[in-house]
Amino acid sequence: MQWIESSVRHLFFTGKGGVGKTSLACATAVKLADAGRRVLLVSTDPASNLSHVFEASIGDGEPAAIEAVPNLDALNIDPEAAAQAYRDRVIGPARDSLPAKLVRQMEEELSGACTTEIAAFDEFTGLLTDDSLAGRYDHIVFDTAPTGHTLRLMKLPTAWNTFLETNTSGASCLGPLAGLEKQKQRYADAVQALADAEQTRVILVARPEQSALAEADRTRHELSALGIANQRLIVNGVMPDPASADPLAMAMVQRGQAAINAMPAALAALPQDSVPLQGHNLVGVASLRALLGGGVGAEVTETPLSDAPTVNVPSLREMIDQLAEPGHGLVMVMGKGGVGKTTIAAAVAVELASRGHDVHLTTTDPAAHVTQTIEGELDRLEVSRIDPDAETERYRQHILETKGKDLDDQGRALLEEDLRSPCTEEIAVFQAFSRAIREASKKFVVVDTAPTGHTLLLLDATGSYHKEVMRHAAPNTKLVTPMMRLQDAEQTKMLLVTLPETTPVLEAAQLQDDLRRAGIEPWGWVINASLAAAGPTDPLLTRRARAEVAQIEKVQRELAARTAIVPWLPEAPVGEHRLRQLADGVAAETTNN
């Protein structure tokens, strides 16, 4: 646990939803405070549950003392509240001086995920650059670091305002940056502090799973490219040697070790630690102290052992029965990175093709591994990948040759600056994505989307395109835009994929709210990799299975129009045979090969 035995002032915990960032950040803050250090714990996670973890009231805006842990204060940054305050600050002065139509357009441009990220960063930078905090705290521990997407925005050149006066495309990341002009120096100081290895360490948190480790490696690479080199890896939730002969437990050990052994070389070269899988919910200070090896109050009462729970949720095959009825259509599989979107998309596509339907399975995910998941060719199934790099370069050249052809040198330089923003990739991918949408009138098109933040930006671009087309359409012209297809429940079925854990379910619920804001109603939810559905007998896994029940019931009763569940499988669901077993909710027999 050398990440704790450090003089570094800023500790950031980052990783995909559900890997245990919050638990590790909280446990680290408690450990430092128990050692006599003055600590501020900050959550920038939109699904923050600090109050639940500490069993104490922790509000937004002002640090609150954690009475059970002397020397520890905690603070939530609410990204949605920050985004609203940010919009009010940017748009407020214009409300009385601009036409209402233009004000509404500004509000729409500042309503997307990009604005939320920037607004949260706006709040976050105050903590990094506030001199008064330096005298109050020895360490600031952050639960969730700014994304690489946000940091790339902050490092764009500074000639924003002039460009914004002339940019009318409505499809730019620079729109949300409009309110940053007066605080550029503070942001520059914050980015510099992040890159200072003496001040800042980023702790990449992953589970012992291939997808989680791959995502950690992408984060490592992206942060390294931005000059943030002081990084460390924690592999959380490592299954200990089983206390029984449960095949699920033994398979979990084997799969976890295989994933760790196969992690990318650059990630494996980082300093790293591992934390064992816990059988109880990490709630309360005693649990947090126990997580990192004892200390005062480390005793934790285990939940009494009982049989694994029984869950009554339809299988994925039963959901596919309904999807297949029209004989064609668009199926979009969405969710946070690491929840198993690619596997679920592949299982849906394979099952539809096996029933004699023509199917096109495509992905907009930069980290796609659809082909490896299918493992071979199937009749009636076409597999493709939308290459973000190729689409982005094609889009850049098109814009420079059209909108840029009559600009002077300064205007062209500013346009090229805009085209270097992270959102450009999403807008470019949209063009290829819209071609796939059109195919769905004749066959099934199954889209394995990019992680949630990227997907929402893509859909924001879709919305902008829709408004632009309708604005210039001749009267009485009958048009069907891609957004109209996405909003049509007869043509498009949105499947949200989640894990049966608190944070992934919260994140999927937030995605559902964002889709509804765009006029898109999710068709169903898929709960993936459920231990409760797998029926373990190992004591540790049985306790974890019982902890899933509340989240499964929440999805069924409160969130989803229809639900399917997929069990945690002893063997990776790769290839036609195992993907079809996954759809059935049947685990293949474990082998020792």
* Active-site residue, selected from the candidate residues 15, 18, 337, 524: 18
pLDDT at 524 (0 to 100):
97
pLDDT at 336 (0 to 100):
78
- Domain 10-291: which CATH class? alpha beta
CA angle, residues 144, 148, 152, in degrees to nearest 5: 135
Long-range contacts of 80-83 (CB under 8 A, 24+ apart): 80/46, 80/116, 82/116, 82/119, 82/120, 82/122, 82/123, 83/110, 83/115, 83/116, 83/119, 83/120
Beta strands in 271-345 (DSSP E): 272-276, 329-334
pLDDT at 574 (0 to 100):
78
CA angle, residues 97, 461, 498, in degrees to nearest 5: 120
- The first and second tokens of residue 57, run together, are 């009231």
Collapsing DSSP states into helix, strand and coil, what is residue 204? strand
* Active-site residue, selected from the candidate residues 15, 16, 21, 211: 21
State how far the alpha carbon of 452 is from the alpha carbons of 312, 336, 349, 367, 396, in Å: 28, 5, 21, 13, 24
Task: Verify whether residue 315 is a known catalytic residue.
Answer: no
- Nearest CA to 283 out of 308, 295, 296, 300 is that of 300
Distance CA 19, CA 204 (A): 10
- CA atoms within 13 A of residue 353's CA, in its CB half-sphere: 23
- The answer to whether the 10-291 and 316-386+432-584 domains have the same CATH topology is yes
* Active-site residue, selected from the candidate residues 22, 147, 342, 464: 22
Distance CA 453, CA 38 (A): 34
Distance CA 48, CA 196 (A): 27
Question: Which residues pair with residue 362 across a beta bridge?
Answer: 384, 447
Domain 316-386+432-584 architecture: 3-Layer(aba) Sandwich (3.40)
* Active-site residue, selected from the candidate residues 28, 116, 464, 503: 503
Distance CA 560, CA 554 (A): 9
Distance CA 235, CA 254 (A): 15
Burial of 322 (0-12, 13-18, 19+ CB in 10 A): middle
* Active-site residue, selected from the candidate residues 45, 418, 460, 538: 45
Task: Verify whether residue 535 is a known catalytic residue.
Answer: no
Q: What tens-digit pLDDT sequence spans the chain (593 residues)?
A: 666 766 788 898 988 767 888 889 999 999 999 999 999 998 876 556 777 788 777 766 678 889 889 999 998 877 777 777 777 777 777 777 777 777 776 676 666 666 777 777 777 777 777 777 777 899 999 887 665 555 655 554 444 334 434 444 444 454 555 555 556 677 777 778 888 888 889 999 999 988 788 888 988 988 888 788 899 999 999 999 887 788 999 999 999 999 999 999 999 999 999 999 887 777 788 888 888 874 433 344 444 445 667 788 999 999 999 999 999 999 999 987 778 888 999 999 999 999 999 999 998 765 556 666 776 678 899 988 888 788 888 888 888 888 788 888 877 777 776 676 666 776 677 777 777 778 888 999 999 876 454 455 555 656 666 666 666 666 776 667 777 888 888 889 999 999 998 878 988 998 898 888 778 899 999 999 999 999 899 989 998 899 899 999 999 999 999 999 999 988 778 778 888 888 887 654 443 33
Question: Dihedral through CA 372, CA 373, CA 377, CA 381, nearest 10?
Answer: -130
* Active-site residue, selected from the candidate residues 14, 15, 16, 20: 20
CA angle, residues 177, 509, 318, in degrees to nearest 5: 135
Structural domain boundaries in the chain: 10-291, 316-386+432-584
- Nearest CA to 539 out of 233, 223, 304 is that of 304
pLDDT at 413 (0 to 100):
76
Contact yes or no for 47/17 (Cβ under 8 A): yes
- CA atoms within 13 A of residue 152's CA, in its CB half-sphere: 20
Look up tokens 């923050």; give the residue: 48
Task: Verify whether residue 22 is a known catalytic residue.
Answer: yes
Distance CA 219, CA 205 (A): 10
Contact yes or no for 525/559 (Cβ under 8 A): yes
- Nearest CA to 528 out of 503, 558, 554, 552 is that of 552
Distance CA 526, CA 534 (A): 15
Distance CA 19, CA 28 (A): 15
pLDDT at 210 (0 to 100):
83
Task: Verify whether residue 503 is a known catalytic residue.
Answer: yes
Task: Verify whether residue 45 is a known catalytic residue.
Answer: yes
pLDDT at 163 (0 to 100):
40
Task: Verify whether residue 184 is a known catalytic residue.
Answer: no
Contact yes or no for 496/335 (Cβ under 8 A): yes
State how far the alpha carbon of 482 is from the alpha carbons of 138, 295, 479, in Å: 52, 57, 10
